[in-house]
Amino acid sequence: MLNGCASVIIPPHELAAFLENRQSNPHGWLGMHPAKIGGKSGVVARAFVRGAVKCEVVELDAAGAPRHGMTQLSSMGFYEIFFAGRAEVFRYQLRYETSWGDIHQVYNAYSFLPTLGEQDLYLFNEGNEHRIYEKLGSHVRQLGEVPGVAFAVWAPTASRVSVVGNFNAWDARFHPMRPLGASGVWELFVPGLTEGELYKFAIWDQHGHMRLKTDPYGTYFEAPPNNAAIVCRTSRYQWNDAAWITQREEQAGKIDRPMSVYEVQLGSWRRKLEDGDRPLTYRELAPALADYVVDLGFTHIEIMPVAEHPYTGSWGYQVTGYFAPTHRHGSPEDFQFFVDHMHQRGIGVILDWVPAHFPRDSFALAQFDGTHLYEHEDPRLGAHMDWGTLIFNYGRNEVRCFLVASALSWLERFHIDGLRVDAVASMLYLDYSRKAGEWIPNRYGGRENLEAITFLKQVNDLVHHYYPGALMIAEESTAFPMVSRPTKDGGLGFDYKWNMGLMHDTLEFFQKDAIHRKWMHDKLTFGMVYQYSENFISVYSHDEVVHLKSSMLGKMGAGPASEKAANLRALYGFVWLYPGKKLLFMGGEFGQWREWNHDASLDWHLLEHPEHRGVQSLVRDLNRLYVSDAVLSARDFDPSSFRWVNASDRDHSTLSFLRQDQSGGTAYLVVCNFTPVTRTGFCVGVPLRGHWREVLNTNASIYGGEGFGNYGGQTTGESTADGFAQSLVLTLPGLSTLVLKWDGVVAPPVVRVAQIKAAKKIPATKRARK
């Protein structure tokens, strides 16, 4: 007898299972349970406490909170006690003394009911628990009056699972988790824990091999090489962007909105050189980046992946923490501050999201419970040849639920305005980057990945349902049909698609010396064949300025630096006036010479030079022009807003086109000259009589150009040209894009004569021969 209670012995094989890490049903033995011992009914209480040399049960509801000493069954810290004659279990705490002299009084982790209900588990297994991130992972909770942390993880074929961390010295014997029926979910509420605890899951497969895994649903992680998850709450931040969210919701479904995107890699945009050349924190980045983006007139930023990743050199595209902003710039709350600040400055935030693949790192998703849980078992379905990574099994309900929840969590927890989905083409095709025999056809014998297509449609529809006005953007490099069309019409449901074709064609054209460009003229005009098949964003992304591809400025055809800068300005002028939303990777806006390096800051010192300041000034003015008139920004997807004036002058590498509103009362003429020869007396037809004001000239001296132009504009003459009854006679500087807007004012003829005479004063070396 001990304190009036009989001491009993747990069956030896069950005790051994605990002590040897073989127990898969801890709640069946630990905690307090009705029992019958030696013919006597009562309740038995058991505890397994690391380092305990003495343990007592404290009766909380009895007068004086009596303490009952427990019998030590193992020096490892296993205790039990039998209360004979007690009809029901009662509220209690464990009071224990450790071998290092500490005394603790805590609730027993094995005295609580599951924190997930049957409905949660049913919807998860069905693939329809859209906010499963609120149930799985780690969550600071209070069960009744008891604070603690609830842990849950999906590991359906595991033989047993424990949660380990600083709180149990990473010893998997002391916090084994319970399986919740046939759901495959393991769960445990650990009282007394709070934010900041580091943890992982110890998972044993069916062969008895243990894997130490980080939490797939973790919201915060420590740095490599340990990569432990950190208990963290993301609901505490006080947002100040209600006006922005309301405005975003009001724009739901309005894809024809102004959108000029600055693509950023947070670790290398600007660094703290005086502090060991470290990356800026989220809180340091917010005001600096917002000031810059607002000044240059961009409407959005797109952030290369910030989801947690172990290898910086992957640029964030090999994700191991699908719900966690990377620790490299601060905490999740710091990232919330970053997004909130952007919204308060009127800047939308788009995030790169990577559901196409995941790395093989042993601590993460690969063979999570000893089986190919998140990935396909067959490498012909489950392995990427190009990147050495694994492919999600989109046909598995719980995997699809995981990915959908990841997408929704970024919009819910961090108020992200849109997701740019990486490598969509690799998801759509079973034979992506594979040779014959290296892939398995779908059930119809085709090459389309039907499960991935279903998943993409689902996630797009759910994002639009839960977060009106949020954008879904596809980086998709093939001609797969209807990527940016609603699912109800048979499309994939994205709002926009990156225009990879225009990017590759224009860069191929501009990389050639001007003398060879006439044989590549179609590279500039072919894009209009498919322009209105999708809702396109014209992009010049990070992928084009790495791996020896050269920078945007470096790509420009042969010639001195000034000529390369003129080429780049002409290209930007052409693209900003061409239909489609805009995206430019950082550094391209001021003509960085070096390729992008993820471990170094952009070369901001280049802005001391006129050519680079000029490119930056041009981008600023192009953005302001673009957003200032709905003709240029709100009719990108209306074919009637665009008309070629002359697209066939390949011998001189000139192009001209119109951007007009529906009534024809507002019109912009864009004229491009992609050779270094300045052309005077250049005749171009226009649909409206009167004065056409020169609103932008990429050759202007403020942009680093030579300053040749049309002295503010030109008035139409009666000569027919390009199918129109009137025309303009222009000075067309070499390597330039001109933008003229019809303002309806007829200037006196003397002005036109003076302009023509002034144009003739241009040196002969700058003019085309007549």
Give pLDDT tens digits for 376-427.
999 999 999 889 999 999 999 999 999 999 999 999 999 999 999 999 999 9
CB-count burial class (<10 Å; 0-12, 13-18, 19+) for 91 = middle
Strand 78-84 to 736-742 pairing: unpaired
Cα distance between residue 471 and residue 248, in whole Å: 10
The closest alpha carbon to 200, from 215, 190, 211, belongs to: 215
Crossing angle of the two packed helices 332-344 and 397-414, in degrees rounded to 10? 60
Q: Comparing 34-43, 108-117, 534-543, 579-588, which segment has the lowest mean pLDDT?
A: 34-43
* Sole residue written with tokens 């296993």: 78
**What local confidence, expressed as pLDDT, does residue 7 receive?**
47
Cα distance between residue 44 and residue 39, in whole Å: 14
* Sole residue written with tokens 């797009």: 460
Q: Quick check: 221 and 328 in contact, CB under 8 A? A: no
- Looking at per-residue confidence, does 101 or 159 come out higher? 159
Determine if the peptide bond prior to 225 is cis (ω within 30°). Answer: yes
Q: Comparing 6-15, 199-208, 353-362, 418-427, which segment has the lowest mean pLDDT?
A: 6-15
Tokens of 760: 């003739």
| Rg for the chain, CA atoms, rounded | 33
Strand 471-474 to 210-213 pairing: unpaired
Cα distance between residue 174 and residue 49, in whole Å: 6
- Catalytic pick among 340, 475, 534, 661: 475
Q: Quick check: 752 and 717 in contact, CB under 8 A? A: yes
Strand 667-673 to 654-660 pairing: antiparallel
**What local confidence, expressed as pLDDT, does residue 752 receive?**
39
The conformational region for residue 95 under phi > 0 = left, psi -120 to 50 = alpha, else beta, is beta
**What local confidence, expressed as pLDDT, does residue 540 receive?**
97
**What local confidence, expressed as pLDDT, does residue 101 receive?**
86
State the Cα angle at 244 between 239 and 247, rounded to 5°. Answer: 145
Tokens of 631: 């003709």
The closest alpha carbon to 135, from 181, 170, 196, 185, belongs to: 185
Q: Is the four-CA dihedral 135, 137, 139, 145 of positive or negative sign?
A: positive
**What local confidence, expressed as pLDDT, does residue 663 receive?**
82
Cα distance between residue 662 and residue 153, in whole Å: 56
For 51, the 3-state DSSP assignment is coil
Active site residue 475: yes
Q: Is the four-CA dihedral 383, 386, 389, 394 of positive or negative sign?
A: negative
DSSP 8-state secondary structure symbol assigned to residue 718? S
Crossing angle of the two packed helices 332-344 and 282-296, in degrees rounded to 10? 20
Q: Give 123-178 pLDDT, tens digit per residue.
A: 999 999 999 999 999 999 999 999 999 999 999 999 999 999 999 999 999 999 99
Cα distance between residue 323 and residue 409, in whole Å: 7
DSSP 8-state secondary structure symbol assigned to residue 122? H
Number of other residues whose CB lies within 10 A of the CB of residue 30: 23
Altogether, the residues listed in the chain come to a count of 770
Q: Quick check: 568 and 589 in contact, CB under 8 A? A: no
For 6, the 3-state DSSP assignment is coil
Q: Quick check: 298 and 347 in contact, CB under 8 A? A: yes
The closest alpha carbon to 552, from 520, 594, 521, 583, belongs to: 594
- Looking at per-residue confidence, does 2 or 116 come out higher? 116
Cα distance between residue 87 and residue 169, in whole Å: 37
Q: Give 519-549 pLDDT, tens digit per residue.
A: 999 999 999 999 999 999 999 999 999 999 9
Number of other residues whose CB lies within 10 A of the CB of residue 613: 17
Residue 246 has pLDDT above 80, yes or no: yes
Cα distance between residue 317 and residue 122, in whole Å: 32
**What local confidence, expressed as pLDDT, does residue 745 receive?**
65
- Catalytic pick among 302, 334, 375, 422: 422
**What local confidence, expressed as pLDDT, does residue 715 receive?**
96
**What local confidence, expressed as pLDDT, does residue 702 receive?**
96
**What local confidence, expressed as pLDDT, does residue 8 receive?**
56
One-letter amino acid identity for 196?
A: G
**What local confidence, expressed as pLDDT, does residue 386 receive?**
87
Q: Cα-Cα-Cα-Cα dihedral of 730, 685, 641, 571, to 10°?
A: -40
Cα distance between residue 749 and residue 755, in whole Å: 10
Active site residue 508: no
Strand 260-264 to 581-585 pairing: parallel
Crossing angle of the two packed helices 561-577 and 500-510, in degrees rounded to 10? 150
The closest alpha carbon to 286, from 346, 331, 341, belongs to: 341
Whole-number mean pLDDT of the chain?
93
What average pLDDT does the segment 734-751 reach?
77
**What local confidence, expressed as pLDDT, does residue 1 receive?**
33
**What local confidence, expressed as pLDDT, does residue 38 receive?**
83
| Beta-ladder partners of 581 | 537
Q: Give 444-467 pLDDT, tens digit per residue.
A: 999 999 999 999 999 999 999 999
Q: Give 496-507 pLDDT, tens digit per residue.
A: 999 999 999 999
